[in-house]
Structure 1
Amino acid sequence: MQVWRIWKSVLTNSFWYSEKITLAPFPRGFHLITDVIVRELPQIRKLEVGTLHLWLQHTSASLTINENADPSVKTDLESWFNHTVREDSSYFTHTYEGSDDMPAHIKSSLLGCEVTIPIHQGKLQLGTWQGIVLGEHRNQGGSRRIVATIQGLEGKTD
């Protein structure tokens, strides 16, 4: 019986929310987007415990968690990826949209298009030096869409 009461309590406080966030175009490179995500999802503040899942709906950009303080980290990431996945490689055949097309897909595959972040007492549980980073791997990537799904237990108030 006690297990049922706990489960019933969990069900009554259960919270699910999904929203599509459209990011304005960013120049090529790595960009800290934590503040944008938090601003667009005030529902995070309601949760005592939960998770935020972010899914980028593109194959030529990426999402990752990385340094949020020193901008040289973002510059170094861009330099490393450009050195490792070179444009104008003669063996690329998928170049319909330009020389940055196939390299952008490879970079996206290396980093991925999703991150999941724990929520505790109404806040994302990122480490002191961690932030949500968008990797824009195209010269003209355009706006980007992220599907955000929040799930957890309500209990926190603003």
Structure 2
Amino acid sequence: MAVYQDTLTQQTRGRGTHHITTAVEHIVRASGITTGTCHVFQHHTSASLLVTENADPDVRHDLETLIARMAPDGDPAYRHDMEGDDDMAAHARAMLTHNDLTVPVGQGRLILGTWQGLFLWEHRYAAQTRKLTITVQGE
């Protein structure tokens, strides 16, 4: 079994979803692996990863609305607010979602459903630079 690993640096515009499917697929192609798995891990406690609808942006907007209800900014019960109203909310949102994901690889490509895409979900207001490690393994 072969293993290939690379790092992806993603600049965000602040809170919201950032499409990373194309960048991850580029790494999968560079790996030369045709059948296996692709694991994506992001190194931050105030962002997350998701596989979701990539055709209608309203889905991602609605997910933002839903998570804002679960982890609202500036909740007076929060003690951790060193970096502003979005500080603890961003950590809670990351904890409620995923820090990593694994996608099957077939014929040298990610095997995703018709409407699926990979997204980095930024939970902070301000633009950030996020580091992701992509590991592809297989044959």
Match of 2:33, as an amino acid? Answer: L
1:125 corresponds to 2:111 = yes
Whole-angstrom CA distance in 2 between matches of 1:57 and 1:84: 23
- Do residues 22 (structure 1) and 2 (structure 2) align? no
Partner residue, 2:23: 36
Distance 1:37 1:26, change over 3 A: farther
1:122 CA displacement:
0.8
The Cα shift of 1:141 comes to: 4.5
Which of 74, 96, 99 in structure 1 is aligned with 2:85?
99
Alpha-carbon distance between aligned partners in 2 of 1:57 and 1:26, rounded to the nearest angstrom: 18
For the aligned residue pairs, the C-alpha RMSD in angstroms reads: 1.3
Shift of 1:53: 0.3
Is contact 1:29–1:135 with CA below 8 Å preserved after alignment? yes
Task: Read off the aligned partner of 1:57 and give its amino acid letter.
Answer: H
TM-score, with length taken from structure 2: 0.94
Q: What does 1:1-158 correspond to in 2, within 5 Å?
A: 14-44=1-31, 46-153=32-139
Partner secondary structure for residue 30 of structure 2: helix
Aligned residue for 1:118, secondary structure, equals strand
Other structure's SS at 1:27 match: coil
Aligned-pair CA distance for 1:54? 0.4
Q: Offset of 1:15 from its aligned partner? A: 1.4
Q: Name the CA distance, whole Å, in 2 between partners of 1:48 and 1:19.
A: 16
SS of corresponding position for 1:43:
helix
Q: How many correspondences in the alignment?
A: 139
Larger C-alpha radius of gyration, 1 or 2?
1
Unmatched 5+ residue regions in structure 2?
Answer: none
Runs of at least 4 residues off by over 3 Å: none
Letter in 2 for 1:101: D
1:60–1:107 Cα contact (<8 Å) kept: yes
Identity over aligned residues, as a percent? Answer: 38
The one-letter amino acid of 2:88's match is: M
Structure 1 regions of 5+ residues with no counterpart? 1-13, 154-158
Q: Is the 8 A contact 1:31 1:74 kept in 2?
A: no
Cα distance in 2 for residues equivalent to 1:134 and 1:33: 7
